[in-house]
Every structure is written in structure tokens, then in C-alpha cells.
Structure 1
Amino acid sequence: MAVDHSRATAPVEVTDDPVDVVVVGAGPSGSVVTHTAATAGLSVVCLEQGDWVNPSDFPANQPEWELLIQHDWAHDPNVRALPSDYPVDVTDSDMWPVMFNAVGGGSLFYGAEWPRLLPSDFRVKTLDGVADDWPISYNDLKPYHDEVDAFIGVSGLDGDTAYPDGLEYPLPPQPLGKPGLKAVEGANKLGWHWWPGTNAIPSQKNKTLEQCGRWGVCEWGCPQGAKASFDLIYMPQAQQVGARVETGARVRKVVTDDAGNATGVEWIDRNGTVHYQPARSVVLCANGIGTPRLLLMSADDAHPDGLANSSGLVGRNLMLHPNCTALGYYEDELESWRGPAGQLIHSMEFYETDPSRDFVRGAKLHALPTPGPLNVIEAHRTDLDFDELWGEPIHDVARSASRGVLWAANTEDLPEEHNRVTLSADQVDSDGLPAPKVEYTVSENTWKILRFTVDRMVEAHQAAGAARIITQELWVDQPGHLLGTARMGDDPAASVVDSYGRAHDVANLYLADGSIFVTSGSANPTCTITALALRVGKQLVDDLQGKDPS
């Protein structure tokens, strides 16, 4: 794409009307904060560098959807290279961060798996002697979880035995389907914990979300408009109460005054015009890559190492949840094109530290269907010889798509300061702004979890009678969980924000996305991100309305 380097330093041409709150990023956290502030009567503008996406435009509306997701709808922004994207320098990274810039953000592509972190996740230092404890607990976050779940219409079965008492959901769970029942068969034979999948996909119509149509293509955009992508839930309700969403708005800097307070942000529109958006408070919701990037780009004479970075931790402790899989094919007809995908069941059997193992922490496992014949052919490409896959045999391989079950797992990724986001010295986006550079190495502890977990998932398939099992020890482009790069904490020397997302160094600057995680757990994080965003948003409202500080 054409690069206009002058936009990176061009003077402000337009000053927009001042607002109470400017939110940067319209993904899950940005949508929740925008809605929370607007509902309280504050004037809010949300700046999003992407666009609105119509569900009818998603690739799964077309028969050739598996071809369409190879480029324009690819999960990797370096492959898509759309006007709304920015490149990510991954020359020194074991994994490629997955993200999507649009209203709804990464939730357009997520599987809407909706588990909460477990109580132990908040006390890893205390329990296991590694990483750090969060400044909040499971119980502190529970009421915010409950409120978000009720608003979305989360589907799940009450009483998951992996969690404390009191875990309830507003809607019944999705059907297990034949793939889910096959996964249950293996888990039961092995005596594992399992539970019907909890998904942010309504099993009945809820507000602006349709009932799940079981298309099975959740991770490539829901054509039904049923999945809780946040362009369909929270953001429309925020607009109804007065919030303004500005698309095609690439923020280049958070502006501060001589007193060290944020006064607003500078942003570039699609025509190259530079705007200044004044605001009483600034909230960054640009994900665990984009938020540290923006803080580092906001460096000036008063903040030479980047904004809110007196601790030196902005960009550090990146956690990506390395993902592993075991794909099993069965003799049974399983109708594996049916969704959600989205988890059918999950297992927390290996979630916690077990002293008998040679690693700490663990993994969250989940079973999914396997839609798409090309997906199946690709999976077999590393497992079959040429003559077994191509030519006449390709038809049998493609037909096996309906007989598959995918066991997959997020592995807990402990924070390490050398895993970090900096600014690339070589790559820039189309406005000449420096691309984020990701430096990330999978730790030896994580490799041990990955290998152990793959073996367990193979056992599950074997117990259920799989005819063929194909494993992948590390998905380098999954799962798009971007965490930890501006962590919360009580000590300003050891964290970037407090437990309410308020920057220690800038009183009216808030962070509300996955960057504020202290540890990653191994549960899919969007559920926790949105609960944290609600907590941050309510504190923001209290602060601006002059209520007693927390």
C-alpha cells in the first residue's frame, strides 16, 4: 500500500468538538466502555481505524468461503494488508499475533468461547511461586461478569464444577451435537472433568443478536448475526444513547499538558487530515499490541520512554496463549459442519498446577466441530503422502470433513519481560506511523505444557475410537489472545495501571483491554476483558462525575 510518511508528523488541521470521553478502539472492551460512559450521560466518541462490517459480507455467505479466508479475510493482518490494518513486525517472534481492525474488532473473528478465569489465576504467585498476583480476585470481578453475561445473553449450563458455586448463565447451552457427544465419550472413559461449552452466542434471540443458526463458521464471521461480536451488541446500544463512533480514524498520539494530564488524542482520517479530539478522559482499548504501540508512539520530551511508562513495563510481559490441537477423524457420521465453533464442550482437567508434573500451571481444553473440506485437506497435508492425498484420494479426504472432532487447547503463558512489543525500526503503516514489533519466545515451561496437552488430547481421541489423529504442537497464528503489555497492579514501579485501569502516571488516562492482564490463565480471555472493561468504565464514570474515589 502507498505510504505517506508526512502524516506521522503533520500538524493538526482540525480540532473536533470536546467530549467527556474519547475511547480508542471499538472492539469488545471499547464497546463496553463506550456504552457504559454513554449510558451514564457522558458525551463519548469512539475512534476506530477500521470500518463497520455487514454480516452479509462475511466469507461464509459464499460457497468458496474457504478460499476467501486465505487473503482479504485472513486472520493475520500482514496477509490481509487492508487499509484499516497496520503491519506487525514478527521477524523476532515465534508466533504471529492475530487481530482485526473494525467496529467489533477481533470479536468478528473469535469463536465466542466464554469461560471465566478461575480463582487460582488471580493468585499464581501465592499458590505456585511464579509470576505475580493480581490486585483483584475472582470474587471482585464476578458481579461485572454477571452483568456482561446478562446483557449479551451468554449460553451455558449453570454450576460448572470447575468453578466456585454461583456460576449461572442467562440462556441454556448450545446443543452438544454429534462431535460434542463423541468428545464426551472420550472424556468420560478417561474420567476427565468436562462441561457443556459456554459461548457468547445466544441459544435464543437476544436484543440485537439472532438465535444461533449453527453455521459452524464462527471464527470467520457469523452470517446469522448471532454471535456476540461487539458491533452487534453493546456498540449499537451505545449509539442509541448518544455515543458517536468515528471509523477510518487512526490515532497517532495521546496528548498531555504541562501538568501531565491527558487532554485528548490526535488522529488521522482516511483523507490524511490530522484531527485533534479534546476530551476530559482518554481510554485506550486498542488490544495488547495496539495499546502499548500507541503509548510508545506518544513519547515526548516529558515522556521520552513513552506515555505511562515510568515503570518501564509498557509493552513488556506479552502473553499470547500458545495453542495446540489434536484433530481426530472417526468412522461415525458426525455432521461436523454444524456449529457452534465455538466450543461444544470444555475441560479444565489439566488447568491447575500439579506437583507431579515438570511444569507449573496448565491448559484449558475444548472440543470443536471441523467445518470445510479444504480445512480437512490442509490438515492432512502434513500427514499423508502425495499419492494418499492428491488425485482420486482427495475426494475421500474431503468427505471426512463430516467425521471430525477437533480437540484444541490454550496453554497458560506466564509473563516474561523479554516477550514484548516495541516500535519497529523498519516497518510503518500507510500513514507512516511505526509498526509494532513483537519479540516473543515460547518458554520452556510452555513447551512442556504444549507437549503434555497434545498427548492428553490424543488419549481422548483414542478413548473415543478415532480412526486417524493428526496433531499440531503449536499454531503459530492462533489464538489471537493479546495480553499483559500494560499490566495492572498496586505498585507504580511494577505496573502500568491500577486495578481500575487508571494509569499510575496520567490521572485521566485509562486502559481497558487485554493489555492490563497480570497473568494469562488458559481460559479464553474475552469474557474477562469485557468484565474488566465494565469495571474500568464504571470507575471512569464515577471519577468524571466526582463521586467518592474507590
Structure 2
Amino acid sequence: MPAERPDVLIVGAGPSGAVAAKRFHEAGMSVLVLEQGDWPDYGRARAGFPDFELIARKEWNWDPNVRANGGDYAVDCSDSDVTALMYNGVGGSAVSYAAHWERFLPSDFRVRTLDGVADDWPVSYAEMEPYYVEVEKQFAVSGLDGDTCLPEGEGPPMPPVPLNVVGRMGAKALNQLGWHWWPASNAIATTDYGRLHACVQRAACPFGCPTGAKASPDRTHWPDLVAGGVELVTGASVLRITTDAAGLADGVEWIDRDGREHAQAASTVVVCANGVGTPRLLLASGLANSSGLVGRRLMMHPFANAIGIFDEDLESWRGPMGQYLHSLQFYETDRARGFVRGAKWNLMPSGAPLSMVLPGLWGDELVWGAEFHEQLRARLGRSLIWSVICEDLPDPSNRVTLGGASGPGGMPGAALHYRTSENSERMMAFHLDRLSEVLDVMGAKEKKLSSGIRDSGWHLMGTACMGEDPASSVVDRDGRAHDVPNLFVYDASVFPTSAGVNPTATVAANALRCADALVRDRNRQPVPA
């Protein structure tokens, strides 16, 4: 059984929980981590076998309602334009991410100042930069320093993934247009690195990378932390955070996989349960919500694809999935476009056979029928994907509430209420028009442009936002709940804005910054008697 009263109890074993646990452990603090899911079973990672895609779409499905593993809970997305996607288990959603690793840009921390919308972060890029550098080493990031869209500084520890045929075609087209591109950063080892092996480009990153090249915390952090004395309990679903008479968090109540309930004391509680799981737990506990903002300001990055089909063989069934390169050409605000903020483009392989016929990815077109084989032959290995990650501005009406089917111990599920904004719709349309130009320059014989893809809610942010004013935020700049001084949130729930790039780099860097602050101030930290 866990320690009687650890210095820190962390809820969730994803990237933020792993980074925080490592920092606390290094500082000599006792750490207990409760994770509702289990360790990933890479014996079910079938890349290279004939049944790969059939197994991948079940065992490694992004949608918890489809996957229905032991650690999953019901997420009702019937009132949302976008479906929430996540992985519940050791490693968190990094187990199923594509490993795109993107730092936020300096402007992303100053949206209110620069563009008069949303809010500024209470921290700056300059404050975050050393933490970006450190977590890139922890997560085996490959890339190339010197990106002209970022300030000068230390870059990733490993060289970038190869551009291959697809990447070289994209780079050449952007050069012809005079538009920005850079070899992309990925949390993918390009050489053997720690516990990771060099990528062999099976394009299976989200589906249980069988090579062990993709950096997820179940591989990069937890084995060494557990061996070093951090207590990690799996199959532990936290029902509520408890408080004492003074209003301090004094532990949690949780239920194990056999249905037994437990009460666990702790000096400090840190919640790292993602942008849906964290507000779910806070709302179920009735804590940290004097602002009324717990669960509100949900941001999920409206997502669009521009797919090109070509005559020549591009070998686009292989590569990192993962991104070859990115472009930030139209990232900063230009109000003449009819919207504010911007988006990142990234270029990826189109993948294996089943990916050629999935609805949503290719639009709503039905391919089953007389021309099925012809279409499959035309696409497989001869297509590529430009994806668009659009900045999503915070809106209090976009929110997470308790709802849906109850889980173990009667813990309610979560319900999403989300509508894509007019600003986002205009942004997606603009960027797809530009990418259509890119595909023309590349020589595509056919184009498939899709916006507002429903099954794309990989990035769950903003539902317990940070800020200096308790009336307009849930936690302070260091993740401390304004209402409960020994309760912290370190995941993407605390993001005041979403930026227009993938969030995991900033999730990890911010968690390390917040954990560093707690270590620094621990002698002044209020704890229950």
C-alpha cells in the first residue's frame, strides 16, 4: 500500500505528472502517483504485421469511448463540434500522440497585449525557455536549432527526422513561394537515446510505436522513477480531493480496480489529469471554483487537412507520424485576413492502407464501391498530408461539465459543450486556401481539403486557467489554486490561451517550471496539520 502521507500526491501519470514527479524526487521529496489506467501493452503494437491497422484502431484508438480500457471514463461529446481524444494510462495521452514537439512562440504569451483578445499569460517566453531546453532533453526531442520564428537559443539534443521524398517536395514548394519552413521537432529519437531506440519510420507513432523510438513518459520517465522510489499505483481512480477544517487539501479518496475504496492522506496534491479529467475531478470535489471558471474556456484547436495525391510513388506509407517539417508563415495576426491569431502547418506521410479510406481524414467522401481498388491504388504511397493547427481563443461557454455515464464509485463522467468560433472558421478557410496553393506548386493531380474535422480533439486546454486575479482564474502563475493553497494543477488545463501549435512541449515545460517553484518554496508551503 502507498506511504502513509507523502509530501506530494500526483493525480495522473502523463507528461505533466511525470515531469513534476521527477523534479520532486530529485529534491528529496516523497512522491505518490495515482493513475487510473495501466501500463501500455506494447505486445499489442502490431506495426509490420498484416493485422496492424485493425488492432491499432481498437487497442490504440484515440477515443476513450471506443477504446474502453479499464482506466477510461465516459466522455459525452454529443453537444460538441469536436470529439475529445485522450489516453488514460501510464504515459497519459503521450502514449497516443504523434509526437509533434512545438514550443509556443513569444507572441503566444502576449495575446491580449498584441491583439486585444483573450489574456496574456502570467509568464513569458523568456521565463519558459530554460524549461523548454530541459524537457527537450528529457523527452528525446529531435530537431534543428535556429528556426527563424523562434528566439536564438539551445535547440533539441538530436538531429531532425529525415525529410524523405515528401519533406523535400514540401520544402521545395515553400521555397518557390518564399514562405517559411523548418525541419520539424518531434519527440522521436533519431539515434539511440537513453531507453529509446532510433526511429525506423514505420509511421506508427500514435499506435504503440513498436520500435520504442517515440518518447512517452511510460518509457522516458516512469521506469527510472519507480526504480528510484517514486510510488506509482495503477488502476487507481480518484473520486474526490478531500480537505480539512482549515480548507487545506489533506488527501484524496480513490477506488482500485477491484472496487475497494481507499482514503489517502497527503501534504500536497497536484492534479495532472488533462483538460477534461482535471475539471471533472475539481467539480466532483467541489473545489477551487470560486471564480466559476473550473471547466470553462475549453480550447481544442480546430483542425483541418489538405491532402495531395500525386502520380509518382512518394513512399508515403513510411516516415515519422511525426512531422517532416512545419511552416509558421501565416502564424502572427494580420487583421486584413478577417481573423486574429494564426496556425501552424505540418507535413506528414499519409500512412498505411486503411488510412486511405477513413472518413473525416479524407472528408465525407465514400470510397467503398466499384472504384474502391482504383482509389486505394491512387492514394497509397502517392499522397501526403498538410495539417493545420488553428489557435482556439478561450470562450467561457465552451466548457466541461459533469455528465454522462458514471464510473467506478459513482464518479460522474464528463460532458463537453463546445462550438467552433467564427474566428476559427475564417482561419481554417484562409489556411486551406494557402495550402491549396502549396499543393498546386507541388504538382498534385488531386486535392482533398477538409476543415472542422470532428475526431480531432487531441489538445484539451484551458479549463482551470492560470492568472493573477482569483476572480478571473483558477490557479496562480505557479499552478496553485487560489482557493486551496496546497492544491495545484500542472496540466494544459491551466493554459490561458492555446497558441496555434501542439501543446505537449509547453505542458511539460510549464509543469517543470511549476514544480520547480514548489520545490523552491516548500518550506513556506501550507500543509494540513
**Pairwise TM-score range, normalised by the shorter structure:** over 0.9
For structure 2, the 5+ residue unaligned runs are none
For residue 122 of structure 2, what is the aligned residue in structure 1? 135
Deviation at 1:290, TM superposition (A): 0.3
Q: What per-residue deviation string (whole Å, max 9, x for no partner) do you get for residues 208-249 of structure 1? A: 111112111112221111101110012222223210110000
Aligned-partner residue type, residue 268 of structure 1:
I
For residue 462 of structure 1, what is the aligned residue in structure 2? 440
Q: What per-residue deviation string (whole Å, max 9, x for no partner) do you get for residues 159-190 of structure 1? A: 00011111422111110111111111221222
Distance 1:216 1:396, change over 3 A: same
Matched, 1:338 2:338: no
Q: Please give the secondary structure, in 1, of the residue aligned with 2:336.
A: coil
Contact 2:316 2:383 in 1 (8 A): yes
For residue 360 of structure 1, what is the aligned residue in structure 2? 340
Cα distance in 1, alignment partners of residues 478 and 386 from structure 2: 36
Matched, 1:115 2:71: no
For residue 529 of structure 1, what is the aligned residue in structure 2? 507
Distance 1:398 1:36, change over 3 A: farther
Aligned-partner residue type, residue 202 of structure 2:
W
Of 65-74 and 25-34, more deviation after overlay is shown by: 65-74
For residue 157 of structure 2, what is the aligned residue in structure 1? 170
Q: What per-residue deviation string (whole Å, max 9, x for no partner) do you get for residues 288-329 of structure 1? A: 000000000002xxxxxxx01111111110000011001111
Contact 2:44 2:59 in 1 (8 A): no
Aligned-partner residue type, residue 488 of structure 2:
Y
For residue 389 of structure 2, what is the aligned residue in structure 1? 410
CA RMSD of aligned residues (A): 1.8
TM-score by length of 2: 0.96
Cα distance in 2, alignment partners of residues 320 and 382 from structure 1: 20
Cα distance in 2, alignment partners of residues 151 and 321 from structure 1: 26
Residue 466 of structure 2 is aligned with which of 488, 493, 511? 488
Q: Please give the secondary structure, in 1, of the residue aligned with 2:110.
A: helix
For residue 313 of structure 1, what is the aligned residue in structure 2? 293
Of 285-294 and 395-404, more deviation after overlay is shown by: 395-404
Q: What per-residue deviation string (whole Å, max 9, x for no partner) do you get for residues 275-296 of structure 1? A: 1111110000000000000000
Counterparts of residues 213-292 of structure 1 (less than 5 Å): 213-292=200-279
Number of aligned residue pairs: give it.
Answer: 525
Cα distance in 2, alignment partners of residues 198 and 232 from structure 1: 19
Residue 82 of structure 1 is aligned with which of 52, 57, 69? 69
Matched, 1:476 2:454: yes
Cα distance in 2, alignment partners of residues 30 and 17 from structure 1: 20
Cα distance in 2, alignment partners of residues 488 and 23 from structure 1: 19
Cα distance in 2, alignment partners of residues 501 and 234 from structure 1: 22
Aligned-partner residue type, residue 328 of structure 1:
G
Q: What per-residue deviation string (whole Å, max 9, x for no partner) do you get for residues 471-514 of structure 1? A: 11111111410000001111111111111111111111111000
Deviation at 1:54, TM superposition (A): 3.0
For residue 357 of structure 2, what is the aligned residue in structure 1? 377
Cα distance in 1, alignment partners of residues 241 and 154 from structure 2: 39
Contact 1:317 1:484 in 2 (8 A): yes
Cα distance in 1, alignment partners of residues 437 and 31 from structure 2: 52
For residue 6 of structure 1, what is the aligned residue in structure 2? none
Distance 1:28 1:61, change over 3 A: farther
Contact 2:363 2:450 in 1 (8 A): no
For residue 47 of structure 2, what is the aligned residue in structure 1? 60
Deviation at 1:350, TM superposition (A): 1.2
Contact 1:60 1:223 in 2 (8 A): yes
For residue 8 of structure 1, what is the aligned residue in structure 2? none
Contact 1:34 1:235 in 2 (8 A): no
For residue 544 of structure 1, what is the aligned residue in structure 2? 522
Cα distance in 1, alignment partners of residues 412 and 518 from structure 2: 30
Contact 1:376 1:398 in 2 (8 A): no
Residue 146 of structure 2 is aligned with which of 136, 140, 159? 159
Of 283-292 and 234-243, more deviation after overlay is shown by: 234-243
Deviation at 1:540, TM superposition (A): 2.0
Q: Please give the secondary structure, in 2, of the residue aligned with 1:356.
A: helix
Distance 1:541 1:223, change over 3 A: same
Contact 1:183 1:405 in 2 (8 A): no
Contact 1:383 1:470 in 2 (8 A): no
For residue 500 of structure 1, what is the aligned residue in structure 2? 478
Deviation at 1:83, TM superposition (A): 2.0
Cα distance in 2, alignment partners of residues 27 and 255 from structure 1: 22
Deviation at 1:122, TM superposition (A): 0.6
For residue 9 of structure 1, what is the aligned residue in structure 2? none
Deviation at 1:391, TM superposition (A): 4.1
Contact 2:2 2:231 in 1 (8 A): no
Contact 1:373 1:398 in 2 (8 A): no
Q: What per-residue deviation string (whole Å, max 9, x for no partner) do you get for residues 368-409 of structure 1? A: 0011111112369757676xx634651552463111110001
Distance 1:514 1:382, change over 3 A: closer
For structure 1, the 5+ residue unaligned runs are 1-13, 300-306
